[in-house]
Amino acid sequence: MERLKPSRRDFLVGLGRGFAGSLIFSLPMLMTMEMWWLGFYADPLRLALFMTLLLPLLWRLSRYGGLRHTRSGWDDLADALVAVAIAAIASAVVLALFGVLDRGMSTHEVVGKLLLQTFCGSIGAMLAQNQFGEKDLRDERREAEASYLDEMFLMVVGALFLSLNMAPTEEIILIAYQMSVWQVIVLILLTLVLMHAFVYGLEFGGTERPRDGEGFWSVFARFTVAGYALVLLVSFYVLWTFGRLDSTGNLPTLGTTIVLGFPGALGAAVARLML
């Protein structure tokens, strides 16, 4: 049997990793009923706005992962489009296997059920090379790209990914309703402590080291507090997109955003370690 050329073989391996990453990262959402229907009944304009963010996000994320080692912005765009295609196919196959999709459904219903699953799965596909690829290549990419704005971007991706898991569920609303003001304040403090500890204190793989001359409070303010502010913005936007904040007052909105910000903040911290 003829041996595949290295470039073609690498591309096929990248596709396989992309499919695996899409499946692994999106499986919890593929098996969640709220996610099946959200794309179908959510406000079309909000959902369209949300989906327009996908390609720019994947394009930038390709610098940290992707399906292959890219050398230009056009390569990154191609990877982003392939990641979307992989995620759409993987989502369609799994949902059809689970009986969520069938031949009697309208095109509108099928597309609605696949939209958000594709969003989540394409991020997983784009992260596949980073998680399943060669360690030296991952380290090389990270060292070449590391900057303050890059770190903030990675935190947004991590927060967005985990927030998508939780935002459609009724439990987020219920938890926020049950919590007192003091419990919300404690949750904020706990979230900040865990975010900082995950990245700087617990010595996980990929633990960050403050630069020479940077004190604790400088790092805490520039990365942890600023990152948490971005997490809350992401949480608010996701909840708004899914209509979870409609007809709610300011305090319930704030409480729900803070509750969703808890898993979102952990996702943001883990993203800095993993990517």
Closest by CA to 234, choosing from 94, 86, 50, is 50
Give the span between the Cα atoms of 13 and 154, in whole angstroms: 25
- 222 part of a folded domain: yes
Q: Average pLDDT for residues 94-120, to the nearest whole number? A: 85
Residues 187 and 138 in one domain: no
Q: Average pLDDT for residues 183-203, to the nearest whole number? A: 86
The Cβ of residue 85 has, within 10 Å, a number of other Cβ atoms equal to: 15
SS3 assignment, position 247: coil
Q: Average pLDDT for residues 253-274, to the nearest whole number? A: 90
Give backbone dihedrals phi and psi of 17, rounded to 5 degrees, phi first: -65, -40
Q: Average pLDDT for residues 96-108, to the nearest whole number? A: 84
* The pLDDT of residue 4 is above 50: no
Domain hosting 237: range is 146-274
Which of 8-12, 56-60, 201-205 bottoms out in mean pLDDT, i.e. has the lowest? 201-205
Residues 30 and 92 in one domain: yes
Q: 265 versus 72: which is more confidently predicted?
A: 265
Residues 200 and 222 in one domain: yes
Q: Which value, to the nearest 10 degrees, does the dihedral of the CA atoms of residues 40, 43, 44, 50 take?
A: -100
Instruction: Give the model's confidence band at 273: pLDDT under 50 very low, under 70 low, under 90 confident, else very high.
Output: confident
Residues 40 and 104 in one domain: yes
Most confident of 45-49, 148-152, 227-231: 227-231
Distances (CA, A) of 46 to 144, 156, 238: 35, 19, 10
Q: What is the pLDDT of residue 38?
A: 79
Which of 15-29, 154-168, 241-255 bottoms out in mean pLDDT, i.e. has the lowest? 15-29
Residues 46 and 133 in one domain: yes
Last residue of a domain, one of 85, 111, 142: 142
Residues 19 and 114 in one domain: yes
* The pLDDT of residue 187 is above 70: yes
* The pLDDT of residue 113 is above 70: yes
* The pLDDT of residue 111 is above 90: no
Distances (CA, A) of 212 to 86, 209, 216: 43, 9, 11
Residues 163 and 270 in one domain: yes
- 63 part of a folded domain: yes
Last residue of a domain, one of 87, 114, 142: 142
Instruction: Give the model's confidence band at 7: pLDDT under 50 very low, under 70 low, under 90 confident, else very high.
Output: low
- 3 part of a folded domain: no
* The pLDDT of residue 51 is above 60: yes
Q: Average pLDDT for residues 213-229, to the nearest whole number? A: 82
Last residue of a domain, one of 123, 142, 161: 142
**CB under 8 Å to 119, separation ≥6 — which residues?**
50, 51, 54, 87, 164
Closest by CA to 191, choosing from 145, 93, 133, 258, is 258
Distances (CA, A) of 120 to 54, 83, 105: 9, 11, 22
